[in-house]
Amino acid sequence: MKPTPPPIPELLHRLREKYPDARYELNWSTPFELLVATILAAQCTDERVNRVTATVFPKYPGPRAFADADTAELEEDLKPTGFFKQKTKTVQAMSRALLEDFGGEVPRDIQQLIQLPGVARKTANVVLNTAFNIPSGIIVDTHVGRVSQRLALTKQEKGEAIEKDLMALVPQEDWTFFGPAVVLHGRYTCVARKPKCDACMLADICPKVGVER
């Protein structure tokens, strides 16, 4: 029997009740800082990124400081986030491109953002949704992918294909809320191993695709 996804209005209603102030958990004070933090968060926890950026952002205030930074010193500063050599290279290349192509200002357009080194749709959506409240798309990370599959909202495996399915289901005015809310739900309730179905406000409307009964 084909699993039945929950009605989207009811799903959104319950997510809003549980996560009324849903936000991405990275700390930032400018769109550029959010862009850097999102790049650093690849294969690293938001908590660790926040610990690193607490000292890194005051030390390198803005794209010019990152672009001109001593590479070895910046590598050392970013080391706790893992894959630090690649992340340093990406952040410096992104900062230089931002200065050269956009005068150091983070563009508010997804097609322009994804031209920057190291910026794919997920990162661009995080920045546009979170910093500018622009519904450019839906943030899809590992949590959103997993929760969406369990809810039978998608059968897709890849981020952009999952996002396409979700964008067809969720009204555009809810995109900037839906992504962060589902991230939180996947991080704390619908976890990868042994999801907390007993404590889940969606349990009665969730088909629990792929969850061992």
Q: Which residues are the active-site residues?
A: 122, 141
Measured in degrees and rounded to the nearest 5, phi and psi for residue 154 equal -155, 155
SS (H, E, C) 145-187: HHHHHHCCCCCCCCHHHHHHHHHHHCCHHHHHHHHHHHHHHHH
Whether the CA torsion 174, 197, 143, 211 is positive or negative: it is negative
Tokens of 22: 């849903």
For residue 164, which of 173, 177, 155 has the smallest C-alpha distance?
155
How many Å is the Cα radius of gyration of the chain? Answer: 18
Amino acid at 82: G
